[in-house]
Amino acid sequence: MKVLLAITGASGLAYGTMLLESLRALKQDVSVVISSGAKEVAKAEGTKLPKADYGEYDFNCPYASGSNPPDAVVVCPCSLKTLGEIANGVGNSLITRAAEVALKERKKLILVVRDTPYSLITIRNMETVTLAGGVIMPASPGFYGKPKKIDDLLEFMVARVLDQLGIKHSLSKRWKA
């Protein structure tokens, strides 16, 4: 599966880095783009970001065009700013353009949104993306599996994203009935 993984400036960058490791381990064709917002958050969170395959404004990336869309665009984590741009058709960066392409070409678009609480504007933006065919997956890991460490919580979300992508995996098995 061809996946564009976009990492943006919301808290929880480790969700994105673990998702990347998992997609690579599962032999998926994954490309990475990182926003400058994510680089700022990385300083605060002390997260080591992966190497990007494409620059934030690299519209020469094949996935910026409807002629060559990926099978899925995943924004993980997804800031409210990027959500707002996607919901309003603002394709002014590779991330928002690729999301726009995914929607118009009827490919999978998954936004792992993180913030709390949500304003009405955010809720409406999430509604708009959902009605357009995207999937909003708030970074809300469950606690019923009795997580012991942060990695358990990250794994929970990564497993749910892989489920949405239809990629078989063995993560988070202990949370399954």
Residues 37-76 binding ligand FMN (CB under 6 A) are 37-38, 40-41, 44
Q: 9, 69, 141, 147: which one contacts ligand FMN (CB under 6 A)?
A: 9
Judged by beta carbon, residue 10 or residue 19, the one nearer ligand FMN is 10
Q: Which is nearer to ligand FMN, 25 or 121 (CB)?
A: 121
Q: Which among 47, 68, 91 has a CA at the least distance from the CA of 4?
A: 68
Q: Which residue is nearest to ligand FMN (CB)?
A: 37
Q: Write the CB contacts of 102 (distance below 8 Å, at least 6 apart in sequence).
A: 69, 70, 72, 73, 108, 109, 134
Rounded to an integer, what is the distance from CA 69 to the centroid of its chain? 16
Annotate each residue in 106-145 with x if it binds ligand FMN (CB under 6 A) or - if it does not, as one string. Answer: --------xx------------------------------
Residue 13 CA to its chain's centroid (Å): 10
Judged by CB under 6 A, does residue 169 bind ligand FMN?
no
Token pair belonging to 132: 């357009």
Q: Would you tell me which residues interact with ligand FMN (CB under 6 A)?
A: 8-11, 35, 37-38, 40-41, 44, 79-82, 114-115
